[in-house]
A = this chain, B = another copy of it.
Amino acid sequence: MSELDLIRFFRKYPQGHPWLKVGPGHDCAILKWDADRDLAFKIDQIVEDTHFVLAGPEAASPMEVGWKAVAKALSDIAAAGAEPVAATVAVHLRKGLGDAWARELHGGIAACCEGYGLALAGGDITSGNGPASVCVSMIGQCTKDGAWTRGGAMPGDVLVLTGQIGGSRGAAKKHLIFEPRIKEARAIREAVGAGVHACIDVTDGLSRDAGHLCAESGCGVEIDEAALPIHPDALAMEKAGQGEALEHALGDGEDFELLLAIEHAAADRLLAGWKLATPLTRIGRVTKASSGRTLKRKAGAIEALPDRGYEHGT
């Protein structure tokens, strides 16, 4: 049973709870809470040897592990278009990591919480023989417009991407230390409100995550190769003979950028008025489901978008 099978299996749980508006299958669960503002609720974990390693050339520092654990959950809150409020953290310490390691881990967790205005509300710690892991749960508050989900993209929408994509495990190790797109999500929300039809954060790779969006929205996508804002680390990897930059842009996981489907006129307005330093790029369009997922090559040919990407936990 692969992780994806199991996730599907978990989704079968009956969801007829009166407060649950959006359940498993999206970046955050959305619960009805106050009369006018929903609550976003998320759990996420990172595990040694799956999401980070502690030895060798790619070793993460404990500060980086703590940061990544919190930032990864923040990225899901951003993808729901919500404002982060509070986090709780459960840590499993592998025996032998030592006090200094634990203290620095805490430093990374606290730094990310403080940087994003999160209350670090509680935690739990165990130690044992297993790989180290950090599990973060987070709650956020939605605006009166409600949450963004993976569903709702419509043919004719524009696909917009924050930041640059690919090479997350390259020189900058940006899968470890990254800025989740909370500020960018807020700016997009304020600029176009309900013009955002769907959103997902890129964790499994652009191609695969575009597929998740298509599956939940019942649509297709066409991604424009010429428009892709490829990260310099992906270009450097190509130069070093470590695979094509395009492959990295489409397939690398853990970019933690936002992929949004935005109503056409709203997207035009948004892109024209964009003032933040983080790039915001039109990378394609939403199509009918029957068109599938396609890649428009630079020379103009339309190819099927390969279903490659990072499958967590395998």
Contacts and interface: CB of A to CB of B under 8 A. Distances in A.
A164 B306 CA distance: 60
Interface string A111-123: 0011001111111
A58 interface: no
Given A24-B121, A122-B29, A125-B10, A19 B86 contact: yes
B10 A123 contact: yes
Contacts of A122: 23-24, 26, 28-29, 41-43
Given A17-B86, A19-B119, A20-B86, A43 B7 contact: no
Interface in A90-131: 90-93, 98-99, 102-103, 106, 110, 113-114, 117-131
Interface stretch (A132-140, A222-230, A240-248, A284-292): A132-140
A3 interface: yes
A33 to B, nearest CB: 7
Contact of A23 (B7, B102, B121): B121
Nearest to A138: B137
A116 to B, nearest CB: 11
Nearest to A24: B122
Contacts of A47: 92, 126, 128, 130
A51 B114 CA distance: 32
A128 B3 contact: no
Interface in A16-49: 17, 19-20, 23-24, 26, 28-29, 31, 33-34, 39, 41-45, 47-49
A313 interface: yes
A15 interface: yes
B88 A41 contact: yes
Nearest to A41: B121
A276 interface: no
Contact of A120 (B13, B44, B48): B13
A160 to B, nearest CB: 25
Contact of A125 (B3, B14, B31, B49): B3
Given A9-B102, A106-B10, A139-B41, A313 B126 contact: yes
A46 to B, nearest CB: 8
Ranked nearest first, the 10 interchain pairs of A and B with the lowest CB-CB distance are A130-B130, A137-B137, A29-B121, A17-B119, A43-B88, A126-B313, A20-B119, A1-B99, A135-B135, A29-B122
24 contacts: A1-B102, A3-B127, A7-B123, A9-B102, A10-B120, A13-B106, A13-B120, A15-B120, A19-B86, A24-B121, A24-B122, A28-B122, A33-B34, A34-B34, A39-B139, A41-B88, A41-B122, A43-B88, A43-B123, A44-B124, A45-B135, A92-B130, A126-B312, A129-B130
Given A9-B102, A13-B110, A92-B130, 12 more contacts: A1-B102, A9-B103, A10-B106, A10-B125, A19-B119, A41-B122, A41-B137, A43-B88, A44-B124, A51-B126, A125-B313, A130-B130
